[in-house]
Structure 1
């Protein structure tokens, strides 16, 4: 379901606006070589006012990617690009504003369907389907400033690192497979 953004056309008002912004920017086509996938809170409907559009990418050559991103989006408001390490993995991250949204492009040398952002979204989507009342509780905690994964774990009474524990929950429930990682 999440490998295209067509589902956003039938979504809520914010999802439809996100669909239009992504299409106008042509970002999924421009970055097709990196297998872009929209992840995060907007696709699964637990976004709040400040939620951004997270697009994850498989990037193996950071220098080439950086040059391309600067050329494509460097003129947009609040443009930044930086290389960091997350969980001992090199990452390149770009942020900018377009059409009322903050975009965050998140690239690492890993297939997108194995990245935590994608896996968390899939797991959270299934949890929301399984427990519909969870949605409002997550949104409530997010409005208080809590990040998504910690909000899910707080509500579900899950202790430990929320990013790792959600993966474990996904494996336990059969939502994802260990070999996916």
Structure 2
């Protein structure tokens, strides 16, 4: 995280809210001001790690690699990290877990073990319809 401090990094996803499974990765989101500079800097910092892959899209940069048997994903976009969907989804999911408790956590983990991504798992467990990513954002306060 120190290497990424210029980009306001945040750990998001399943690990901080304890719905991770054995195959879960560590998701770190970042905010960049210059798309190409961020892609270059991420490559410089992490291209020596196992399975390094950089995906450059028009609106985001994604790096994947392995450190000590942990899959790491770094996602960057030109949006403040606390406004990015990954962070917002995590906060909503955390609040839902506080409301519904371990029963929801158990259902989500079971669905994840069955192959569902996190947001669809929450949507199924809660009976939400439509696009699960949008449905969760619709629950935001």
When normalised by structure 2's length, the TM-score is 0.96
Aligned 8 A contact 2:31 2:79 in 1: yes
After superposition, what is the alpha-carbon deviation per residue over 1:83-137, rounded to whole angstroms, capped at 9, x for unaligned?
A: 125xxxx110000000120100000000001000000000000100111110000
Query: Which fold has the larger relative contact order, with Cα–Cα distance below 8 Å and residues 6 or more apart in sequence?
Result: 2
* CA distance in 1: counterparts of 2:44 and 2:139, whole angstroms: 40
When normalised by structure 1's length, the TM-score is 0.75
Superposition map of 1:19-38 within 5 A: 28-38=1-11
> Is 1:156 paired with 2:141?
no
After superposition, what is the alpha-carbon deviation per residue over 1:124-157, rounded to whole angstroms, capped at 9, x for unaligned?
A: 0010011111000000000000011011111111
Q: Which runs of 4+ in 1 moved over 6 A?
A: none
Pairing partner for 2:62 from 93, 97, 101: 93
After superposition, what is the alpha-carbon deviation per residue over 1:10-42, rounded to whole angstroms, capped at 9, x for unaligned?
A: xxxxxxxxxxxxxxxxxx111111000000001
Aligned residues: 140
Q: Which residue of 2 aligns with 1:136?
A: 106
Unaligned runs of 5+ in 2: none
Aligned 8 A contact 2:51 2:66 in 1: yes
> Is 1:114 paired with 2:114?
no
The structure with the greater share of residues assigned to helix is 1
